[in-house]
């Protein structure tokens, strides 16, 4: 019979905390405009089948938080995208962030205090950093009322006039710059930090 060992339990708990992390998966282009319709319950079940735990989804636009042993984000992307393709028969682009980095993204907002509604403020998530020439092209194309700041693998967008008529809404970044992104408004980004 194994004796209780409080000290050992503390060590095991600390190791578990260190090696297991919470990640957020951001799926691009699902449940938008009637295309690639996927129920969140089906997504959650798929993530659980991949060995992820404490899976939670948020709204219908492809936001899933989960726990797993510390893993390179690129490996998680490959694993999840492969499973999505096999399960739903579609290539779905996935961006991964560890949840702590979402807090850092929120804290680094260059437009903090300069927007009246969460609908004006958006964050675009990229798989890799934009080349400098693409950043310059984005800045040159942005109308005066639309503000963009690129930091690492995120683009902050302040769009006081809304998304629909903006260069973001016209898919300038993906169609012209050929950069794959998935965007979330500020309220969703704040929720992802706590999901």
Q: Could you read off the pLDDT of 159-180 as tens digits, one per residue? A: 999 999 999 999 999 999 999 9
pLDDT tens per residue across span 6-57: 555 554 445 445 578 999 999 998 876 666 789 999 999 999 999 999 999 9
> Does residue 167 form part of some domain?
yes
Residues 117 and 83 in one domain: no
Q: What is the mean pLDDT of residues 70-75?
A: 94
- From 34, 68, 98, the end of a domain falls on 98
pLDDT value at residue 35: 66
Residue ranges making up the domain that contains 144: 108-192
pLDDT value at residue 34: 62
CATH code at position 176: 3.30.70.270
pLDDT value at residue 1: 40
pLDDT tens per residue across span 97-145: 999 999 999 999 999 999 999 999 999 999 999 999 999 999 999 999 9
pLDDT value at residue 36: 76
Is the CA virtual torsion 106, 110, 113, 117 positive or negative?
Answer: negative
pLDDT value at residue 19: 78
- From 98, 116, 149, the end of a domain falls on 98
Mean pLDDT of the chain: 90
Number of domains in the chain: 2
SS3 95: strand
Residue 102, C-beta contacts closer than 8 angstroms, at least 6 positions apart? 24, 189, 192, 193
Is the CA virtual torsion 16, 21, 22, 28 positive or negative?
Answer: negative
């Amino acid at each position: 019979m194994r004796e209780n060992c409080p000290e050992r339990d503390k060590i095991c708990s600390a190791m578990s905390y260190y090696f297991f992390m919470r990640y957020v998966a951001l799926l691009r282009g699902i449940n938008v405009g009637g295309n690639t319709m996927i129920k969140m319950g089906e997504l959650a079940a798929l993530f659980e089948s991949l060995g992820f735990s404490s899976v939670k989804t948020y709204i219908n636009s492809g936001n899933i938080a989960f726990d797993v042993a510390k893993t390179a984000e690129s490996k998680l992307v490959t694993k999840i995208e492969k499973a999505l393709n096999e399960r739903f028969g579609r290539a779905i682009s996935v961006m991964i962030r560890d949840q702590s980095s979402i807090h850092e993204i929120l804290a680094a907002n260059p437009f903090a205090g300069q927007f009246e509604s969460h609908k004006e403020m958006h964050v675009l998530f990229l798989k890799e950093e934009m080349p400098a020439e693409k950043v310059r092209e984005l800045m040159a194309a942005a109308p005066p009322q639309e503000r963009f700041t690129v930091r690492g693998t995120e683009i902050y967008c302040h769009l006081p006039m809304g998304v629909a008529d903006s260069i973001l809404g016209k898919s300038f970044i993906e169609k012209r710059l050929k950069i794959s992104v998935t965007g979330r408004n500020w309220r969703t980004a704040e929720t992802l930090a706590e999901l």
